[in-house]
């Protein structure tokens, strides 16, 4: 009789699955794909996922090891989800073990037992509170706790309660016995919850989208919702989710890293009042796992998450919403380099449900798909609630005197805005004081010792820091090359803007938002709250400021430098810059005052910039698409990028040369193999990097080439001397 063989996905950088013998004392026939198993691996043990139960193995019987332990009673992932993940592993040509395991929360990947759900919230029951307090007059601590809950509006998180009352467990036990409080899970609408709020009466364009999508619930279909900032896209998501949920379907909402804010979550929670799971990297491992379980069990009717949420199992998936579909944070940039936006479409297709991609500035990929009829293309042309779109102006800064990077026209407008009681936002995508420190005497520059880049001057910390590898050193007292006593900052960063503006406008409180001021948990929310309440007149920041935030008091938005995007090394630089400009501009004039947008540039005649400012994003996108088409660049072609790094540049290039030769034998004439070439920044963190670009007009031949190439990469003569990775549909060519 053939012996049962278990085929496992294990987190290892190896192509394929691993064969094991079933554990002793377990009926192998009762094992199901999706269960976790602990197995001996190398010199240690590893947790893996059962993928197939097979009747034999290509590995000789004597070399097969035995599974040590079965970890789960029931599968964590169902067959359909396993198949989806294996498809993704195939498409991105990434080891299936790593792909499958990345769908699990961290604790579960490590082989830990499933967390049991614990209640996390205490609520007063519905009886009259005054009566309760009287009845408790002989139990002062219980009375105190009830009073505290009353002050908190009837409910409180268990953690806050424990922090306030050290003996909370005992007090709560007594109160629960009397039926005065109940313990609930946060996702359960609290028993004394506010009444369901009605949505807005939708305008015609919004209504058309909601009707179009909800008519197709129950089968696959893709929509592009192109809606200018503030046009009420979120309102459309809300009402669509409401309809899907009312039909018993579960909803997945993907949002970019930066826009998953407490305000957004509260908006969905309050409106829908359904069990909601939040999958967000900023949460603790325990919280994430609890919410993951909620999603995986189907009990969460709504899952809101960032990129990796697209990998979470959701059995009753009935609608997928992708907000800001163009956002680069949807692309994973290391390890399993998937695009969550693209996988969202695949998931919806497999689940047989609609998927809606929303954006004010759709990616060129998505616009092409919409134009060719693969997506239904719906538009929201006006801002909801009547606010008018902001006017954009270019400020030519050639031959202009500037103060810390700010031109006279910009300073004048700031003055006018602030003295009129409005808020202004100044945007620069560079943190620190200045991107370079230099010596006027000899031309010395603050080079990073480990990268082909400069170290940034940080004034407050009195340090030079490399933003690519993190290397840092104290600011030298004199020029390290010639000994001259003075060193000078070149260019501006947000820290410098803050200083200049504080000196110039001392009466107006300023808030700076970038990675340096928001590294501590909760600090971003605190700063945003200060702005929202109007306590700060000036708001300085990096692109962290660009997304989603709604500041009704901001009527002026300025971008200090838009030129980087016009001549960036990557062919997507202009697209990114245009999206950023429109997003940033979208922060202006969302309240009752009309907004103004100032863009400082040294190339005011640049055609793409002109088109964007005069005719708007759709015209810009059409022009950029035509350029891509002429140059046969994505989305008019498909790419895969093979990267390699080593201690010497030649080593990385030799490995890629070997790969290029294999690729050439496999590729027909319809695939271009470019390189190897050094990466745009060849040296980074002490390693030398090179790359090989594969490009084809069609997806299929490229996939076929990769199918043949990838298994052979591991065996190339120089494979062990480099670190290599493959990026299918790369979002950046560096």
Count of residues in contact with ligand ADP, rule CB under 6 A: 15
| Per CB under 6 A, 227 contacts ligand ADP | yes
| Per CB under 5 A, 482 contacts Zn ion | yes
Q: What are 358's strand-pairing partners?
A: 225
Q: Which of 203, 471, 637, 657 binds ligand ADP (CB under 6 A)?
A: 203
* Residue 217: CB minimum distance to ligand ADP, A: 21
* Residue 266: CB minimum distance to ligand ADP, A: 13
| Per CB under 6 A, 384 contacts ligand ADP | yes
Count of residues in contact with Zn ion, rule CB under 5 A: 15
| Per CB under 5 A, 445 contacts Zn ion | no
Which residues are CB-neighbours of 454 under 8 A, at least 6 positions away? Answer: 435, 436, 445, 446, 447, 448, 466
* Residue 322: CB minimum distance to Zn ion, A: 34
Q: 486-490: long-range contacts at Cβ-Cβ below 8 A with a sequence spacing of 24 or more?
A: 486/439, 486/440, 487/437, 487/438, 487/439, 487/444, 488/437, 488/438, 488/439, 488/440, 489/433, 489/434, 489/436, 489/437, 489/438, 489/457, 490/434, 490/435, 490/436, 490/437, 490/438
Q: Which of 135, 189, 385, 476 binds ligand ADP (CB under 6 A)?
A: 385
Residue 484 binds which one of ligand ADP, Zn ion, none, with CB within 5 to 8 A depending on kind? Zn ion
| Per CB under 6 A, 549 contacts ligand ADP | no
Chain position carrying tokens 């809101």: 304
Q: Check: CB of residue 127 under 8 Å from CB of residue 146.
A: no
Q: Check: CB of residue 554 under 8 Å from CB of residue 587.
A: yes
Residue 102 binds which one of ligand ADP, Zn ion, none, with CB within 5 to 8 A depending on kind? none
Which residues are CB-neighbours of 287 under 8 A, at least 6 positions away? Answer: 278
Nearer to ligand ADP by Cβ, of 231 and 496: the residue is: 231
Q: Which of 164-172, 222-230, 509-517, 624-632 is the region at the interface with ligand ADP (rule: CB under 6 A)?
A: 222-230
Structure tokens at 390: 């902001």
Instruction: State how beta strands 18-20 and 36-41 pair.
Output: unpaired
Q: Which of 69, 107, 141, 468 binds Zn ion (CB under 5 A)?
A: 468
Residue 229 binds which one of ligand ADP, Zn ion, none, with CB within 5 to 8 A depending on kind? ligand ADP
Residue 444 binds which one of ligand ADP, Zn ion, none, with CB within 5 to 8 A depending on kind? Zn ion
* Cis preceding linkage at 267, omega within 30: no
| Per CB under 6 A, 361 contacts ligand ADP | no
| Per CB under 6 A, 206 contacts ligand ADP | yes
Nearer to ligand ADP by Cβ, of 108 and 384: the residue is: 384
| Per CB under 6 A, 235 contacts ligand ADP | yes
Q: Which of 124, 479, 597, 652 binds Zn ion (CB under 5 A)?
A: 479
Residue 450 binds which one of Zn ion, ligand ADP, none, with CB within 5 to 8 A depending on kind? Zn ion
In the region spanning residues 202 to 231, those forming contacts with Zn ion, defined by CB under 5 A, are none
> What is the per-residue DSSP string for 355-378?
EEEEESS--HHHHHHHHTTSSEEE
Nearer to Zn ion by Cβ, of 5 and 437: the residue is: 437
Nearer to ligand ADP by Cβ, of 95 and 548: the residue is: 548
Torsion angles phi and psi, residue 721, rounded to 5? -95, -5
SS3 of the chain: helix, strand, coil, percent, to 5: 35, 25, 40
Angle, helices 204-214/233-246, rounded to nearest 10 degrees = 30
* Residue 523: CB minimum distance to ligand ADP, A: 24
E-assigned strand segments in 414-541: 423-427, 436-438, 456-458, 463-465, 472-474, 488-490, 510-513, 538-541
Q: Which residues bind ligand ADP (CB under 6 A)?
A: 200-203, 206, 227, 229-235, 384-385
């Amino acid at each position: 009789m053939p012996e049962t063989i278990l085929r496992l996905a294990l987190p290892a950088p190896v192509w394929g699955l691993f064969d094991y013998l079933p554990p002793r004392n377990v009926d192998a026939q009762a094992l199901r794909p999706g269960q976790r198993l602990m197995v001996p691996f190398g010199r240690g043990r590893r947790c893996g996922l059962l993928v197939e139960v097979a009747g034999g193995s290509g590995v000789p019987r004597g070399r097969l090891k035995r599974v040590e332990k079965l970890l789960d009673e029931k599968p964590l992932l169902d067959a359909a989800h396993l198949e989806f993940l294996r498809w993704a592993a195939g498409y991105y040509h990434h080891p299936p073990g790593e792909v499958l395991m990345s769908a699990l929360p961290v604790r579960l990947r490590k082989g830990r037992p499933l967390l049991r759900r614990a209640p996390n919230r205490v609520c007063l029951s519905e009886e009259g509170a005054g009566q309760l307090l009287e009845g408790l007059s002989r139990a002062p601590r219980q009375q105190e706790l009830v009073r505290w809950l009353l002050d908190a509006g009837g409910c409180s998180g268990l953690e806050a309660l424990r922090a306030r009352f050290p003996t909370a467990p005992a007090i709560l036990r007594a109160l629960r016995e009397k039926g005065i409080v109940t313990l609930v899970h946060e996702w359960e609408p609290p028993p004394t919850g506010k009444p369901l709020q009605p949505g807005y009466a939708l305008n015609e364009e919004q209504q058309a989208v909601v009707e179009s999508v909800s008519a197709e619930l129950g089968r696959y279909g893709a929509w592009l919702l192109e809606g200018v900032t503030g046009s009420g896209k979120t309102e459309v998501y809300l009402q669509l989710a409401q309809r899907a949920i009312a039909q018993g379907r579960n909803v997945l909402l993907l949002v970019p890293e930066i826009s998953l804010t407490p305000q957004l979550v509260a908006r969905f929670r309050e409106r829908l009042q359904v069990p909601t799971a939040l999958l967000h990297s900023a949460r603790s491992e325990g919280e994430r796992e609890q919410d993951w379980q909620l999603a995986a069990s189907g009990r969460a009717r709504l899952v809101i998450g960032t990129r990796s949420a697209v990998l979470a199992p959701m059995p009753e998936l009935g609608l997928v919403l992708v907000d800001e579909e163009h956002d680069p944070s949807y692309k994973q940039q290391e390890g399993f380099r998937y695009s969550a936006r693209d996988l969202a479409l695949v998931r919806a297709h497999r689940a047989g449900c609609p998927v809606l991609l929303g954006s004010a500035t759709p990616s060129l990929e998505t616009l092409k798909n919409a134009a060719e009829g693969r997506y239904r293309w719906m538009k929201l042309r006006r801002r909801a609630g009547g606010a008018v779109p902001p006017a954009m102006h270019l400020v030519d800064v050639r031959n202009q005197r500037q103060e810390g990077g700010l031109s006279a026209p910009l300073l004048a407008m700031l003055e006018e805005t602030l003295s009129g009681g409005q808020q202004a936002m100044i945007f620069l995508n560079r943190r620190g004081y200045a991107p370079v420190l230099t010596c006027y005497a000899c031309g010395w520059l603050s080079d990073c010792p480990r990268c082909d880049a400069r170290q940034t001057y940080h004034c407050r910390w009195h340090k030079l820091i490399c933003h690519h590898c993190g290397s840092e050193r104290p600011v030298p007292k004199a020029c390290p090359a010639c000994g001259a006593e003075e060193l000078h900052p070149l260019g501006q960063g947000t820290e410098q803007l803050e200083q200049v503006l504080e000196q110039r406008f001392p009466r107006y409180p300023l808030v700076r938002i970038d990675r340096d001021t928001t590294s501590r948990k909760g600090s971003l929310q605190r700063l945003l709250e200060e702005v929202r309440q109007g306590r700060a007149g000036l708001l300085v920041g990096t692109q962290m400021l660009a997304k989603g935030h709604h500041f009704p008091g901001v009527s002026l938005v300025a971008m200090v430098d838009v030129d980087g995007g016009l001549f960036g090394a990557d062919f997507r630089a202009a697209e990114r810059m245009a999206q950023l400009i429109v997003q940033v501009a979208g922060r202006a004039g969302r309240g009752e005052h009309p907004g103004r947008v100032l863009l400082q540039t040294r190339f005011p005649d640049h055609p793409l910039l002109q088109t964007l400012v005069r005719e708007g994003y759709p015209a810009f996108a059409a022009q950029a698409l035509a350029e891509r088409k002429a140059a046969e660049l994505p989305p008019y072609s498909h790419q895969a990028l093979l990267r390699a790094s080593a201690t010497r540049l030649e080593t990385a290039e030799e490995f890629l040369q070997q790969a290029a030769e294999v690729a050439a034998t496999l590729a027909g004439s319809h695939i271009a193999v470019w390189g190897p070439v050094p990466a745009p920044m060849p040296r980074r963190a002490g390693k030398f990097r090179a790359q090989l670009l594969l490009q084809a007009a069609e997806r299929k031949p490229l996939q076929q080439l990769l199918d043949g190439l990838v298994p052979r990469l591991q065996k190339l003569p120089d494979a062990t001397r480099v670190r290599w990775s493959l990026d299918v549909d790369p979002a950046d060519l560096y």
